[in-house]
Structures are given as structure tokens and as C-alpha cells.
Amino acid sequence: MLWLFVAVVVLVVIVWPRSQAKPYDHYFSALNQLVRQQMPGCPVLIVDLNRVDQNLERVKAHLGDPSQVRIAAKSLPSPELIRYLLEKLGSNRLMSFHLPFLLQQFRSFPGSDFLVGKPFPVTAVKTFLRNLSDEEKARIVEIQWLIDTPSRLHQYLALAREQGLQFRVNVEIDVGLHRGGIQTLEALDQIMALINDAPEHLIFSGFMGYDAHLAKAPALPWKQGEARQQARSEAMAIYQRFVNHVRETWPDSYRDDLCLNGAGSMTYQLYPEGDQGCLNDFTIGSSFVKPTDFDLPTLTDHQPGLFIATPVLKKLDGLVIPFLERFAPWLAKLNVNWQKAFFVYGGWWKAKPCAPQGLRNNGIYGRSTNQEMLTASNGTGLDVDDTVFLRPTQSERVMLQFGGIRVVRGEEVIGFWSVFKE
């Protein structure tokens, strides 16, 4: 029976919870002091501009020509942050995804090249036009409207005729993500015929082929890089087929300045300088701040630069559950990571605690948007009025929840940047 005893001991050692807590590292210790001294004492969103700059340099080094970068405005919904990045990149390209934001961006960045990142219902385009002055309508050719079907283009053409306008048309193609876009040359021919029959109202501006699936190509761990490259080759073959078809079948519509948009934050590094296929336009957004959904092998050289910072309101010994108070000492013995309970200001964001290490939401106690409980072992070094830092899982929705962004550089708050309004 000795072997059974040994097996039980080994199993217990493997599955028994260990302390995951560690105090702030140097970076977050300094940031905690900055928050306590210079911020308002409630949850705030922080962008570390030094880290944004480092990520930006990685983008520049990888793509070679940073003016080809198109900022995904949904991922960085702050006009000041977008302007900062565009200036650093030497780009004037924006991708817009949301009707209210498109209007604000159109007014904030006159003379920019806008590519709508999803096919808007024609009613959305009508709403957009109703909000424009005559002077702004004269700039409508700054926008490339995304078209995914011939029937949608029919609707846009009818609107352009009604309004006496000319729309630039970018055609969405399915390069393997299967989230829409044309899949056949026959569908492309129908779209191109409509464009060529109404040149006073429609201009072919290029293609968009989003390839987020490449970053998660299924494979054994040691084969993942090879799998991504194979998937990328297949996607580029599809893309090139559509480009070639326009060049050969619709030569009057083919131009050297067509927008051939692709990639994204998850996949742009699959297109290094000198090996970019037919693409000349790369959409990037989230990788400049790297939320947790972008902790991927394709972005290991990027740093997190976006954090929620919220004060600790209360610090309690043990995990004390209503009606189960007498079990509190046993719960702490059952899981060392339940030795301390911290209640923070706010909570239930799309975010994960990152500093100090070892803080976790507690499924027994439940979640709260008012005072979230986080548990940990004794090793966090955390006290009342200290700061819990969380990394958003995504940037676009979370960045809109705090009224604006506290911008830090080093150990100084250098600005408060606004966000777009719904």
C-alpha cells in the first residue's frame, strides 16, 4: 500500500493550491505611488506612453514603411491618442467601425483617408449624411465604404444618385476568416460592373481582407509558426487572385494607388518588410497598448501599456461568506490564496488583475461593479489605499468607461485625453 500512499501525496502536492502572491515589482511600485499622489482616488484608466512608444517602434521596425499603417480607431477610441500615433507614424489612415465615432473622426481628422471597417447598413450611411454640412459632404470621397455583396452596393448606388454624391467603394473579401465578404470572382464581377456603369457615383478604391484567424492557426506547439505561415500563404493566394482579376478583367479600374488592406494587430508581424505580398495597407490598433486578448506568440515583443488602476477600500483576514462565517478559518486552510480579501472601488470590468500578483476574483462570493472582492495569500504586501492594477482584456469598450485616459510618462502624469462619445 506504500505506492498508494505515495501516489496520494504526489497528487496532493500537484493539485493543492500554492500561494501565487507577489508584491509590486519596481514598475508597479512606482506607478502605485504616482496613482496615490496625482490621481483622484477613484478608478482610472492609464496609458503608459513610454510603452506605447516602444510598441510603436516595433511596428515601425517590422513593417519598414510606417505610413502604411491604418489606425483601428475602435481599438484606440481617443482622438488625442490617435493623433499622437498618426504623427509618429507619418500616416493619415484610419479605420472606423462605429457610426457615431465615424462622424467625430471625420470632423477631427479632415484630409485623412477613412476606411469603414464593416459594411454599414445603408440607413447608417443616410444617418451619417444627414449630420453633415454641405462643406463636409464635399469631403465624402475621403471615406472608403466597405461593400460585401452586390445587393448592398445597389443600395449605396441608389443613395449616391439620390444625394448627387460619389462614393469610394472598398470590397471586402473572405481570405479564410469566414465572417463575410465575397468569395467568388462572379460576385466581384457583379460589383465591378455596377461600379463601371456608374462612374459619376462609384469609384473602386481597393480590397479589405481581414485575417485574424491566422494568429490562432491550430497546430502542435512546435508547429505553430509553420501553421501560421501556411495559413498566411493560403490567405494571400486568395487575396492575390482577386487583385489579379481586377487587373486583367477590369483594367480601367486597376490603379497603383488602390488600397489593399489586410492584417491586424494579431497578424501584422506575419508581413515583414520585403514579404508583404500584395498588401500595402495594414490595420493596427490594440497592439499599441496590448490588452490581454493579445498575449499571443505574434506579439511577444510588445508590452502592455493600458491599465485600470483602482484603490483598495478594505482589507479583511480570510474569506468570510455570509451564512458560512464559521467555515472561514477552514477556507483559508483549504486554499492559501484565500488568506486575505480585498474590496476595491468599482469592478467587474473586462479586465484581469495583474499587480500585485496573485489577486483573483472569487466565485464563491460573487462579482460586483460597486465593490469587487479580490482574494490572495498574505504575500501581496497590499494595504488599504494602495492600488490594484488590472489589464483590460480588450481596449475598445473598456477605454470608453472612465470618461477619459490618464496619460503617464515615467513617473509623471502628462495629460488627460478624451474619448469618443456614443
State the average pLDDT over residues 171-199.
97
Residue 265, helix vs strand vs coil: coil
Q: Is the pLDDT of residue 179 over 90?
A: yes
Provide the CA 96 distance to its chain's centre, in angstroms. Answer: 13
Residue 91 near residue 60, CB atoms below 8 Å? no
**What is the percentage of the chain residues whose pLDDT exceeds 70?**
96
Look at residue 12 in the predicted model and tell me its pLDDT.
38
Pairing status of strand 167-172 against strand 143-147: parallel
Write down the pLDDT at residue 318.
85
Q: What is 17-46+303-417's CATH topology?
A: Lyase, Ornithine Decarboxylase; Chain A, domain 1 (2.40.37)
Residue type at position 234:
E
Give ranges for CATH 3.20.20.10 in the chain. 112-284
In terms of CATH, what superfamily is 112-284?
Alanine racemase (3.20.20.10)
User: 0.85 exceeded by the pTM?
Assistant: yes
pLDDT on residue 330 = 76
Q: What pLDDT, in 10s, does the model give residues 308-360?
A: 999 999 999 988 888 877 877 777 778 888 999 999 999 999 999 999 999 99
Task: Say which DSSP state 258 is in.
Answer: -
pLDDT over 80 (residue 73): yes
User: Looking at residue 103, what is its pLDDT?
Assistant: 96
According to CATH, where is 2.40.37.20 located in the chain?
17-46+303-417
For residues 202 and 133, is the Cβ–Cβ distance under 8 A? Answer: no
- The pLDDT assigned to 13 comes to 37
Task: State pLDDT tens for residues 201-239.
Answer: 999 999 999 999 999 888 888 888 899 999 999 999 999
The crossing angle, in degrees rounded to 10, of helices 185-197 and 224-249 is: 40
Cell of 97: 467601425
Q: Per-residue DSSP letters for 312-324?
A: EEEEEES---TT-
pLDDT of 259-281, one tens digit each? 999 999 999 999 999 999 999 99
Q: In whole angstroms, give the CA distance from residue 159 to residue 157.
A: 5
How far does CA 406 lie from the centroid of its chain?
19
Q: What is the mean pLDDT of the chain?
A: 93
Instruction: Return the higher-pLDDT residue of 422 and 154.
Output: 154
The Cα-based distances of 104 to 86, 95, 97 in angstroms read: 16, 13, 12
How far out from the chain centre does Cα 316 lie?
Answer: 36
- Give Cα separations from 256 to 143, 355, 385 (angstroms): 18, 49, 58
Q: What is the pLDDT of residue 327?
A: 77
CB 209 within 8 A of CB 244: no
